[in-house]
């Protein structure tokens, strides 16, 4: 419902999204991929070639897991221990992974936040 005009939407399970992203036709397209978890994002990153930009925006805020079971990296990023581990691996693969809730927000590098957070 919130997709700009001229943008196509596909809703796919993670494994099917990986198949679509690895299709040679996808290499000439600009594709926005939204995942429910950081762990899903990591799975996609591991199985898809080059990914230009990674943003963990609102990760973990609306997944139904009680906030008391999460580590809070920012007001909009709340992750389970497993997701923090996945996030660290994601940042190793893509050091420029950022956190930006909306386009007008400043992009903060996740690596910098993780370094300060420990």
Dump pLDDT digits (tens) for 57-84: 888 877 777 888 888 888 888 899 999 9
Distance CA 115, CA 107 (A): 16
Instruction: Indicate whether 3 pLDDT > 70.
Output: no
pLDDT band at 87 (very low <50, low <70, confident <90, very high): very high
The stretch 96-113 carries a mean pLDDT of 87
Instruction: Indicate whether 8 pLDDT > 80.
Output: no
Nearest alpha-carbon partner for 22 in 55, 56, 46 = 46
Distance CA 32, CA 45 (A): 13
What was the pLDDT predicted at 47? 95
Chain-wide mean pLDDT for the chain?
A: 86
């Amino acid at each position: 419902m919130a997709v700009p005009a001229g943008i196509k939407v596909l809703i796919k399970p993670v494994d099917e999204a990986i198949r679509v992203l690895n299709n040679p036709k996808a290499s000439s397209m600009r594709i926005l991929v939204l995942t429910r978890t950081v762990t899903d994002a990591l799975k996609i990153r591991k199985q898809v070639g080059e990914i230009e930009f990674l943003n963990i925006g609102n990760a973990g805020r609306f997944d139904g897991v009680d906030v008391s079971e999460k580590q809070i990296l920012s007001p909009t990023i709340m992750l389970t221990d497993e997701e923090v581990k996945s996030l660290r691996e994601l940042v190793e693969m893509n050091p420029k992974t950022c956190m930006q809730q909306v386009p007008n927000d400043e992009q903060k590098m996740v690596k910098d936040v993780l370094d300060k957070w420990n």
